[in-house]
Amino acid sequence: MSALLQPAPPTPAKVSLWRLFRQERGGMVGLGVLGGFVVMAVLASVLVDDSALDVTANVMNPELAPPSPQFWLGTDENGRSVLALVVKGSQVSLLVGLAATAISIAIGTLVGIASGHFRNWFGGLLERLTDWFLVIPFLPLAIVLATVLGHSLLNVIAVIGVTSWPATARLVRAQTLTVEARPFVERARALGGGDWHVMSRHVLPNVMPLVMANTTLTVAVAILSETTLSFLGLGDPFAISWGSMLEGAFVSGAISRGAWWYLLPPGLCVVAVVLAFTLIGRALETALNPRLRER
Amino acid sequence: MVGEPLLELRDLHVTYPSLQGPVRAVRGVDLTVRAGTVVGLAGESGCGKSTLASTVLRMQAPSAQVSGEVLVDGEDVMTMRWGRLRAVRWAEASMVFQGALHSLNPVRRIGQQIAEPITLHEPKTTARAAALRAGELLERVGLPANRARSYPHQLSGGQRQRVMIAMALACSPRLLVADEPTTALDVMVQAQVLDLLTGLVRDLDLGLLLISHDLSVLGTTCDRVAVMYAGRIVEEAPARAVFADARHPYGKALSAAFPTIGDPASRRAPRGLAGDPPFPGALPVGCSFEPRCPSAIGACSSTDPQLLPAGPDRQAACLRVAADGSWLSPEPTRQETP
Amino acid sequence: MLLTARRPRAGLMPYLRRRLLAAVGTVAFVVVANFFLFRLLPGDPIGLYSRGRNVPAEQLVKLRAELNQPVWEQFFQYVRNPFSSTIDSAQFSRPVWEVIGERVWPTLLLVGISTLLATTIGIRIGIRAGWSRGSRFDRVATTSTLIFYAMPEFWLGMLLLIAFGVGVGPLPGIFPIGGISSPGVDTSSPAGRWDVAQHLFLPALTLTLAYLAEYALVMRATLLDEVGEDYLVTARAKGLMDRLVRRRHAVPNALLPTTTLVLMNLGFVISGAITVETVFSWPGLGQLSYQALRGPDVALLQAIFLLFSLSVVALNLIADLVIAVLDPRVQS
């Protein structure tokens, strides 16, 4: 930064990450919204009676009925309450997003650190692998994998995890290279630290903050991916998620019947949760790198 | 030779607002740079010298509050209309920044960047003519004209600094402000760049304000040197006088930090100064140098000394320096070092 | 002339050669992966292929003969010409590549127009928002783009369809609700073209909004990275107006990482195409993918995957080329 335009800032005392994060209004809003949805997901099994979700039990109800005092968000093509479906759907949508992210981050961090650390053929191979996977477009690959593996929730989690790790790996690799260029790593090596020691004791702690910020953004993408895959019919046909609700709406002709109440709520939930994670991620990034405060 | 004043700072104050309260970066500075002379401004980081430099072209941070006058060739830069200011920038006074990689646009050829102010301030100039002038300017600073086609990353640090100088001369200004032009350069290259600058001052009758934390850089090139501390000028005198025989304790400490080769007294150790400069947002009452001063007396912690005459053709801001430059020794409360 | 003569830079050709090699490597990887992935399908491949379809007997005989060959022979055959049409699509009973060929143009039309609009509008929004950081425009723009970025694009499409295609409440249903043209219309006539345009409007609007959000956010971020740089201080000190400082110095520098980031996310463009074409029944490659995965029409899926992957590899290579030419710092 040009010394000309900025006075030297006072060196801040060591502030905890939470304190810094708290200053970011967007992040706090995101955290609040996310909290609400997590509560909803956790309580979903309690709030929603199983009979409300059963296809056969609701045959008597009007199908694709608009919101009414009895059904606040109307009904779907099977007569089920859309409100019940939305609340129940939060469980799968959030769980799949989080689980897939866990896999993705785990693989991505491992591969990223390894490919940045090993400057031999092994590291080079990992780097090549990362680049290859990065180039291949996500959805076609996911469709192929889901077709090969079958339509189930576990497979959706696996598919998203396996296709989204390269982005994290690339980021972690760049950070690993930066960290390993620092003198303290050279010193650790000179003192006899082996590969594992350097990677776990020195690189990993320095990479973790970046990974954390990246994780929240990865969850956002993972939830969007699950929604997309479920919409296309690649998820578990019997699971209820916001994406599967959108599939139901599409396939049952809710559009041509103008059943907007079936369409709006699940999508809004997705937008809210994804936005929440995005805001949290951006707030984390800003807290870790104050230069970004100007965003 | 006494040239006309090209730059006059009169009672300049610059204050930044901050969460911890106002930060007074420059506190009442008077400074003059005349044509054909080099005036040096010395001081540690945070003393306000870069802020001061930024005011010459009104480039200080938008949030900064400025009072006092900054007269460039008689006109106050602070009260100029925007259009007039843009015309003055580069054409009457220009700046030489540190030639770091990022002071130049990385994706444009340096010839274009040198020619840019030419076509901006003299719109009738054709692109071809501007390009030719850029080539001439490069030769003037000791680079071959065909370097104009290079990009900044293809040049060495010393070459980039020369490019910054060539660029600063593009519109034939009378006044140059060089902010740390030799920092981050090797000593040999430093010497070349300084020679270049002093040569230009001589040949083109320019006024040069040379800012550096490195007193050795200023000692050989400047006619006069002003020493800055905590936003204020604490000593101002001919360069030789500051270097060899400073009056203000801070000036003395700065020059004493350089050992004299061959002088047995310096052989033991160069004498540094303990402590750090005060944070501009929390200046002590009284003399701002008092906490670190080896010659402080009781009055120093309550009285803020003004810049007053301290001998023929020189000034100092110290309670213990008399008007004729002699050192005053009242009852000491601390260990003295006359 | 001194400043304008252009010669290829020293390190440019080796760099491009390396990128080309890397691209070839990726292509090889894709082709190999494509072949083996589908051989991993559990169960009887013949049964899978002909599930629920009336497949002519010669097709089955051909398929059985091929599958009886040793794996590496099948592999070499495939690699020699991945675009051969020996196997037909189960759904359409026609050569796979013939079916694909028909669907390319509608996709190019839809994605092309959307990308063009999204790039021009999105980048301008991003520049304005970034340069005037903290202003009202910036806050509104950033919030809006974040919201659109969080939206599944097909959901947006369905909402627009229901609102303006079918018509809900006070909103008029003035647009067609699907397809590329009304039945019986000659699409080469002026009236036919107008019909296609009407059908194109909603899906293009959907994709444009979805892509635009990303481009605006990326452009804004990269411009903000440049805003604090020293060379802009130099530019202002020269007396340049703010507009020129932005246009001549900040934006060209910011566009480079923007281009890189945008092109790294080409997969986003493709997934958008797939889902939005499905929603609007737009007869392009995207909808074809949807139809193929419902089968599953294995042969068709394999071919589509190959095509998409190769396209992205090719586009990435072009992007590398463009950036290498534009950014003088890219060398050996």
AA letter at A127: E
Provide the pLDDT for residue A4.
39
Asked if the structure places residue C200 within a domain, the reply is yes
Per-residue tokens: A54: 């059963």
C3/B115 touch (CB, cutoff 8 Å), yes or no:
yes
Nearest to B307 by CA among B316, B320, B319: B316
Look at the pTM and tell me if it is higher than 0.90: no
Which 112-141 residues of chain C touch chain A by CB within 8 A?
133
Answer whether A258's CB lies under 8 Å from C162's CB: yes
* pLDDT (tens digit per residue) in B21-79: 888 899 989 999 999 999 999 988 778 888 999 999 999 888 899 999 999 988 999 99
Q: What is chain B's length?
A: 338
- Which structural domains are found in chain B, ordered by start? 5-229 (3.40.50.300)
pLDDT > 90? residue C152 = yes
AA letter at C95: P
Q: Say if residue C230 is in the same domain as residue C181.
A: yes
pLDDT > 80? residue C12 = no
Which 70-129 residues of chain C touch chain B by CB within 8 A?
none
Handedness of CA C140, C143, C145, C151 (dihedral sign): negative
* pLDDT (tens digit per residue) in A205-243: 888 888 888 899 899 999 999 999 999 999 888 899 999
Q: Identify the domain containing residue C41 by its residue range.
A: 27-75
In this prediction, residue A264 has a pLDDT band, given cuts at 50, 70 and 90, of very high
Asked if the structure places residue C325 within a domain, the reply is yes
In this complex, the residue of B103, B131, B145 whose CB is nearest that of residue C230 is B103
Q: How many CB pairs under 8 A join A and C?
A: 150
Q: Say if residue C39 is in the same domain as residue C157.
A: no
The answer to which of B165-179, B195-209, B280-294 has the lowest mean pLDDT is B280-294
Q: Say if residue C104 is in the same domain as residue C224.
A: yes
Beta bridge mates, B211? B41, B179
Provide the pLDDT for residue C2.
42
pLDDT > 70? residue A101 = yes
Q: Say if residue C45 is in the same domain as residue C163.
A: no
Q: Say if residue C234 is in the same domain as residue C196.
A: yes
Which 65-84 residues of chain A touch chain B by CB within 8 A?
none
Q: How far apart are CA B25 and CA A242, in angstroms?
A: 57
Q: Say if residue C213 is in the same domain as residue C280.
A: yes
Whether the complex's predicted ipTM is more than 0.90 is answered with: no
C2/B103 touch (CB, cutoff 8 Å), yes or no:
no
pLDDT > 70? residue B120 = yes
Provide the pLDDT for residue A3.
36
Residue C179 DSSP class: S
Instruction: DSSP for B40-86, please give it.
Output: EEE--TTSSHHHHHHHTTT-S-TT-EEEEEEEETTEEGGGS-HHHHH
Please name the chains neighbouring C, where neighbouring means 3+ C-beta pairs under 8 angstroms.
A, B
Provide the pLDDT for residue B271.
62
Q: Say if residue C225 is in the same domain as residue C149.
A: yes
CA distance C147 to chain A (A): 7
Q: Which residues does chain B have within 8 Å of residue C1's beta carbon, measured at their own beta carbons?
A: 128, 131
- In chain C, whose CA is at the least distance from the CA of B145? C2
AA letter at A180: E
pLDDT > 90? residue C82 = no
Provide the pLDDT for residue B265.
64
Q: Say if residue C66 is in the same domain as residue C166.
A: no
CATH of domain A23-45+69-289: 1.10.3720.10
A294/C154 touch (CB, cutoff 8 Å), yes or no:
no
Per-residue b or e along C280-310, where b marks 16 or more CB atoms closer than 10 Å to that residue's CB: bebbbbbbbbbbbbebbbbbbbbbbbbbbbb
pLDDT > 80? residue A40 = yes
Asked if the structure places residue C312 within a domain, the reply is yes
Asked if the structure places residue C9 within a domain, the reply is no
In this prediction, residue A247 has a pLDDT band, given cuts at 50, 70 and 90, of very high
Q: How far apart are CA A165 and CA A73, in angstroms?
A: 37
A3/B279 touch (CB, cutoff 8 Å), yes or no:
no
Q: Say if residue C111 is in the same domain as residue C193.
A: yes
Q: Which residues does chain C have within 8 Å of residue B127's beta carbon, measured at their own beta carbons?
A: 3
In this prediction, residue A13 has a pLDDT band, given cuts at 50, 70 and 90, of very low
Q: Does C236 touch chain B (CB under 8 A)?
A: yes
C158/A249 touch (CB, cutoff 8 Å), yes or no:
yes
pLDDT > 80? residue B197 = yes
Cα angle B229-B235-B239, degrees, rounded to a multiple of 5: 115
Nearest to C133 by CA among C32, C228, C30: C228
Cα–Cα distances in Å, from C210 out to C133, C139, C151?
A: 23, 19, 8
Per-residue tokens: A213: 């910020």
CA distance A122 to chain B (A): 33
Q: Say if residue C103 is in the same domain as residue C71.
A: no
Asked if the structure places residue C273 within a domain, the reply is yes
In the β-sheet with B65-72, what is the strand arrangement from edge to edge?
B23-34, B5-16, B65-72, B75-76
Instruction: DSSP for A53-77, please give it.
Output: H-TTTTTTSPTTPPP-SSSTT-B-T
Q: Does A3 touch chain B (CB under 8 A)?
A: yes
Mean pLDDT in residue range C175-184: 77
Mean pLDDT in residue range C258-267: 82
User: In total, how many domains does chain C have?
Assistant: 2
Mean pLDDT in residue range B226-243: 89
The answer to which of A194-198, B154-158, C49-53, C177-181 has the lowest mean pLDDT is C49-53
Provide the pLDDT for residue A55.
76
Per-residue tokens: B141: 């600073």
Q: Say if residue C63 is in the same domain as residue C109.
A: no
pLDDT > 60? residue C13 = yes
Residue B321 DSSP class: B
User: CATH number of the domain that C298 lies in?
Assistant: 1.10.3720.10
Provide the pLDDT for residue C4.
42
Asked if the structure places residue C46 within a domain, the reply is yes
Q: How far apart are CA B135 and CA C22, in angstroms?
A: 41
pLDDT > 70? residue C42 = no
* pLDDT (tens digit per residue) in B160-193: 999 999 999 999 999 999 998 888 788 888 888 8
Asked if the structure places residue C20 within a domain, the reply is no
In the β-sheet with B38-42, what is the strand arrangement from edge to edge?
B93-96, B175-179, B207-212, B38-42, B224-229, B232-238, B315-316, B308-309
Query: Which of A240-254, B265-279, C174-188, C289-303 has the highest mean predicted lDDT (pLDDT)?
Result: A240-254
Enumerate the domain spans of chain A.
Answer: 23-45+69-289
Collapsing DSSP to helix, strand or coil, A13 comes out as coil
Provide the pLDDT for residue C257.
87
Q: Which residues does chain C have within 8 Å of residue A270's beta carbon, measured at their own beta carbons?
A: 150-152, 155
CA distance A43 to chain C (A): 25
Residue C167 DSSP class: I
Q: Which residues does chain C have within 8 Å of residue B88's beta carbon, measured at their own beta carbons?
A: 239
C240/B100 touch (CB, cutoff 8 Å), yes or no:
no
Provide the pLDDT for residue C193.
83
Please name the chains neighbouring A, where neighbouring means 3+ C-beta pairs under 8 angstroms.
B, C
Cα angle A194-A196-A197, degrees, rounded to a multiple of 5: 65
pLDDT > 70? residue B154 = yes
Helices (H), chain B: 49-55, 82-88, 110-121, 127-140, 157-168, 187-204, 215-221, 239-244, 249-256, 264-267
In this prediction, residue C211 has a pLDDT band, given cuts at 50, 70 and 90, of very high
* pLDDT (tens digit per residue) in A125-167: 888 888 888 888 889 988 888 887 888 889 899 989 988 899 8
Q: Say if residue C131 is in the same domain as residue C277.
A: yes
In this prediction, residue A180 has a pLDDT band, given cuts at 50, 70 and 90, of confident
Provide the pLDDT for residue C126.
95
In this prediction, residue B296 has a pLDDT band, given cuts at 50, 70 and 90, of confident
Q: Give the residue with greater pLDDT, B136 vs A116.
A: B136
Q: Given its phi and psi angles, is residue B332 left (phi above 0), alpha (psi -120 to 50 degrees) or beta?
A: beta
Q: CB-based burial of residue A56 (10 Å sphere; 0-12 exposed, 13-18 middle, 19+ buried)? A: exposed
B115/C326 touch (CB, cutoff 8 Å), yes or no:
no
